[in-house]
Amino acid sequence: MKTLTHVFACLATAAFCGGTLAADQKFTFNLSHQMAADHTLNLVALKFSELVKEKTKGNVTIKIFPSGALGAEKDNAAGLRSGMLDMGIVAVEQYPSFVPESAVLVLPYLYKDYDHLDKVLNSDVASDIQKMILDKTNIRVLTFMPMAFRQMFTVDKEIKSAADLKGLKMRVPESPIYVAAFKQFGAVPTPLAWGEVYASLQTGVAKGVENTPEAVLTASLQEVTKYMNVTNHLEGPTTISMSEKAFKKLPAEYQSAVLAAAAEAEKFDLQLTVSRDKDAREKLKSKLTVVQPDIQSFRGAVHYDQIELVSSEKGKELVKRLQAIH
């Protein structure tokens, strides 16, 4: 028999006690991301929200805010860290600012194909990085998710080899790993928020942008670029992440439900990413000149041991373990 003290303690902490309270508790969380409403990531966010609702019998609601409505991705990462934002689809590239070694998951030419990518994102290396991020930031990565392989889109210059990037102002995400990678390629990396890219290409602030074909298409960047240079230079996984402050508000059974929903959303994302990347490439072929560069010239420019973010002993260890995954 529960004592009154026990019952009041359960009520005060909103904890799940002996199976009596969870069904009566309701939670609403906001989830932010940068992509347009018709982008794969928004469809994944909606699927995740639906799965969470189903697994908690309607007691946990997730409201989706696409297109940077709650701030740029860099701001969302900071919001998760402070607890001001509940959830976000935040790219792995945002985390090296807090946890340098997390950059190992965004190294150029690391992934062979989507099967290899899926293995890495579900490996013990990824689990270690999740724990490092949680320990250092109070952000819980619920799951890592694949994105499509990234290409280079340029305004007025074909990129036939890495030499053609020399001195070229390329927009990159506001992330140190992208800056490091494009310095190795010889470009002038220009970090800008995603919402500023269209205007920057129009005005010459940047002369190119690298991203997935779908991201370019949904942001209408084919209107301000001329060439799609098929470099497959980088795969930048993303995450469904949650503020630990928000996560701890949930009873244990709802925590488990959210984690299970995130795992299912990752599988949904992989299938959708592969199919929609193929469709986006096909659509862009009729709008842009497609260039097939010398990929070996890009691979030859990449030296992981010269990327400071992963040069720590832990970083070197993680790189070695990643390279052993086949």
The string of DSSP letters for 198-209 reads: HHHHHHTS-SEE
3-state secondary structure of 114: helix
How many Cα atoms sit within 13 Å of 301 on the Cβ side?
Answer: 22
CATH number of the domain bearing residue 316: 3.40.190.170
Please tell me whether residues 127 and 59 are part of one structural domain: yes
Please tell me whether residues 128 and 49 are part of one structural domain: yes
pLDDT (0 to 100) of residue 23: 63
d(CA 231, CA 272): 21
Supply 267's token pair.
């599988």
* CB distance 206 to 190 below 8 Å: yes
Q: Note the pTM of the prediction, 2 decimals.
A: 0.88
Q: Mean pLDDT in runs of 10 for the chain (326 residues)? A: 40 42 83 95 98 98 97 95 98 95 96 96 97 98 97 98 97 94 96 96 97 96 98 96 98 98 97 96 97 97 95 96 95
Please tell me whether residues 112 and 37 are part of one structural domain: yes
* CB distance 251 to 22 below 8 Å: yes
Please tell me whether residues 190 and 245 are part of one structural domain: no
d(CA 316, CA 326): 18
pLDDT (0 to 100) of residue 24: 75
Q: Position 290: which residue type?
A: V
Supply 234's token pair.
């980088």
Q: Which residue has the tokens 């740029």?
A: 72
Give the relative orientation of helices 252-285 and 114-121 as an angle to the nearest 10 degrees.
Answer: 160
Q: What angle do CA 28, 272, 218 make, to 5 degrees?
A: 80
CA-based nearest residue to 154, from 286, 291, 283: 291
CA-based nearest residue to 309, from 131, 77, 125, 96: 96
CA-based nearest residue to 233, from 297, 326, 189: 297
d(CA 250, CA 269): 25
CA-based nearest residue to 254, from 33, 16, 90: 16
d(CA 131, CA 109): 25
Could you tell me the sign of the dihedral formed by the alpha carbons of 222, 226, 230, 233, in that order? negative
Total Cβ atoms within 10 A of residue 114: 17
Please tell me whether residues 139 and 112 are part of one structural domain: yes
Supply 265's token pair.
């959303």
Beta strand 238-243 with 139-145 is antiparallel
Please tell me whether residues 195 and 47 are part of one structural domain: no
Q: Which domain holds residue 20?
A: 4-146+237-279
d(CA 4, CA 182): 62
Name the domain count of the chain. Answer: 2
Please tell me whether residues 121 and 168 are part of one structural domain: no
Please tell me whether residues 100 and 176 are part of one structural domain: no
The length of the chain is 326
pLDDT (0 to 100) of residue 8: 37
* CB distance 259 to 142 below 8 Å: yes
Please tell me whether residues 142 and 157 are part of one structural domain: no
Please tell me whether residues 102 and 65 are part of one structural domain: yes
Beta strand 27-32 with 87-91 is parallel
Please tell me whether residues 60 and 163 are part of one structural domain: no
